[in-house]
Chain A
Amino acid sequence: MKKCLQPPMAGIYVAILGLVLMVFGSWRGEMPVVLEKAINICMECIGIG
């Protein structure tokens, strides 16, 4: 029981890696691409384009 209550370190490390990737993606300018796509009606998504 004690063993399974230990914090799952792998999850914590992967979450930190995820944060690092988010920062890297933001740094290289991916967020404006997301914004650009999200603020214009996506014709493909709604089945017109």
Chain B
Amino acid sequence: MDRRKHANERKRHGVQILWAFLTNSYLMGFVQGKIYKGKLKHLCVPGLNCYSCPGALGACPIGAMQAVIGNWNFKFAFYVAGFLMFVGALTGRVVCGWLCPFGLVQDLLHKIPFPKKISTFPGDRLLRKLKYVILLVFVILLPMVLVDVLGQGAPYFCKLICPAGTLEGGIPLVLLNKSMRNALGWLYAWKNLLLIVTIMASMVIYRPFCKYICPLGAVYSVFNPISVFRYRIDREKCVDCGACARACKMQVNPVANGNHPECIRCGVCKKACPVKAIH
């Protein structure tokens, strides 16, 4: 069973690494301290991938959504919302488990040995609702309402919260550009603090950013129950041993709800099932 589980994890990490490389393969950006400026950036990538990462070839959907909502001309992002609906309705949170570069970072951090790994704690379930509040307030309402004299709203989630932007864009660009180093202030320090907290928490808790903060995970989670790609539980085969629920690092019980909003479709439960009742 363990061998099957590890083979699945290796395969998943392979896909995550390959996708992260494919969507961040503008290598000149890392050499020159610049970002890709081509037409591919019309298109969103499905995962949380800062478009100010020097290697990024596409646009982060959460950043793009805030940019359009915050634009004085539009106030709602049909293009990005449609993209997220399309991807979410087809795959649910497959993107979280298999394609998101920041999910990969957290997966790898959680492999670092730590004296006590925490799977759940009092208030865990309630805290998971926080990502929906962050989506509503920082991604939609603030860029829409809190605007400057020109009617332009800032990307408040990116500005105040997103540790992926700091890791993928902020740190490499600041390291590669002297002019940017001279412009650093409290905001950069705050965002680095959030990144450090996220890194530390990821070593102890499995994917804390995905569970509690990520607005993109919040969007995709809504589509999990109706997505075309979904888990199916064969009730005739299931022996109710609970192996799947014990194996799930997102603390989902697939037998109770095979398409729970918190499920990131990592496939660990499928491999843990002794009677292959999860398809």
Interface, chain A (partner B; CB < 8 A): 1, 4-5, 7-8, 10-12, 14-15, 17-26, 28-39, 41-42, 44-49
**Contact of B159 (CB < 8 Å), options: A7, A17, A26, A45:** A45
Contact with A along B179-214 (1 / 0, CB 8 A): 010011101101110000000000000000000000
A46 and chain B: residue at smallest CB distance:
B170
A24–B78 touching, CB < 8 Å: yes
Chain B 47-63, CB-CB to A under 8 Å as 1, else 0, gives 00011100010111001
Contact call B74/A33, Cβ cutoff below 8 A: yes
The reply to whether the CB of B90 lies closer than 8 angstroms to some CB of chain A is: yes
- Nearest CB in chain B to that of A14: its residue: B89
Are A38 and B64 neighbours in the complex by a CB distance under 8 Å? yes
Residues on A with beta carbons closer than 8 Å to the beta carbon of B38: 39
A-B pairs with beta carbons under 8 A, tally: 177
Residue in A11, A17, A39, A48 whose beta carbon sits within 8 Å of that of B227 in the complex = A11
Query: Once the chains bind, are B78 and A7 in contact (CB under 8 Å)?
Result: no
Q: A43: shortest Cβ distance to chain B, in Å?
A: 8
Closest Cβ of chain B to A14, distance in Å, is 4
Q: How far is the CB of B120 from chain A (nearest CB, A)?
A: 28
A28 to chain B, nearest CB (A): 7
Q: Are A19 and B82 in contact (CB under 8 A)?
A: yes
Contact B74 A42 (CB under 8 A): no
A8 and B86 form a contact (CB under 8 A): no
Q: Would A10 and B226 count as touching, CB distance under 8 A? A: yes
10 contacts between A and B (CB under 8 A): A7-B228, A8-B228, A14-B85, A19-B82, A22-B86, A28-B78, A37-B64, A42-B51, A45-B162, A46-B169
* Alpha-carbon distance between A7 and B158 when the two chains are bound, in angstroms: 37
User: Which bucket holds chain B's interface residue count?
Assistant: 35 or more
**Are B81 and A37 in contact, with the CB atoms below 8 A?**
no
Is the beta-carbon distance between A25 and B223 smaller than 8 angstroms? no
The reply to whether B41 and A34 form a contact with Cβ atoms under 8 Å apart is: yes
6 closest A-B pairs by beta carbon, nearest first, are A25-B79, A21-B82, A18-B85, A18-B86, A25-B78, A22-B82
A47 with B82, Cβ < 8 A, contacts A11-B90, A30-B68 known: no
Q: Which residues of A contact B169 (CB under 8 A)?
A: 41-42, 45-46
Given A17-B85, A18-B84, A22-B83, answer yes or no on A42-B155 (Cβ-Cβ < 8 Å): yes
Distance of A48 from chain B, by nearest CB (Å): 5
Partner of A19, one of B86, B159, B191: B86
**Residues in B neighbouring A17, C-beta threshold 8 A:** 82, 85, 89
Expressed in whole angstroms, the minimum distance between the Cβ of B30 and any Cβ of chain A is 14
**Cβ of B165 < 8 Å from any Cβ of A?**
yes
When chains A and B are docked, how far (Å) is the Cα of A22 from the Cα of B86?
A: 9
Q: Is B230 an interface residue (CB 8 A)?
A: yes
Which of A5, A26, A41 meets B35, CB within 8 Å? A41
> Are B67 and A34 interface neighbours, CB within 8 A?
yes
